[in-house]
Amino acid sequence: MKAFERIFLYSVLAVLVFYVFLVDSNVESKVAIQEEIRARSIVIVNDAGQVAVRLWVYEGGGGVTVYHKNGTLVASMRAYESGGGTTFLNKAGAIVASIGACEDGGEVAVCNKHGKVIGSLP
């Protein structure tokens, strides 16, 4: 191989190595920030693949639900045409507290561990 061919070959290899290890990795490491994400439902799962959080919409409004690691619903926030509400449940699935709003006002309710209302404010 002639000296000129060696110099040319080594130069091309050096440029390729520079591009692959420096330029290309910098391009891939840049984070793309989305201005807006549009979806009718977003589901976040835990390491085991079980639903942990769900954001969703329906014809009358939308909601956010949070689940315990065993799959039980533990919190829910929903929007309705007439208002909205938040509900908290224990690990057995019984409602223990809720807050709701509607056209006439709002309500706060506290329940025992079995879901029976033990106190409320109209």
Q: How many independent structural domains does the chain possess?
A: 2
DSSP H or E stretch at residue 88 = strand 83-89
Q: Strand pairing partners for 111?
A: 117
The pLDDT assigned to 6 comes to 60
Give DSSP secondary structure letters for 20-34: IIIIHHHHHHSPPPP
- Give tens-digit pLDDT for 18-53: 666 665 555 544 567 778 888 889 999 988 889 999
Residue 113 and residue 84 share a domain: yes
* Residue 116, pLDDT above cutoff 90: yes
| Domain encompassing residue 14 | 1-33
Phi/psi region, residue 66 (left: phi>0; alpha: psi -120 to 50; beta: rest), is: beta
Residue 113 and residue 64 share a domain: yes
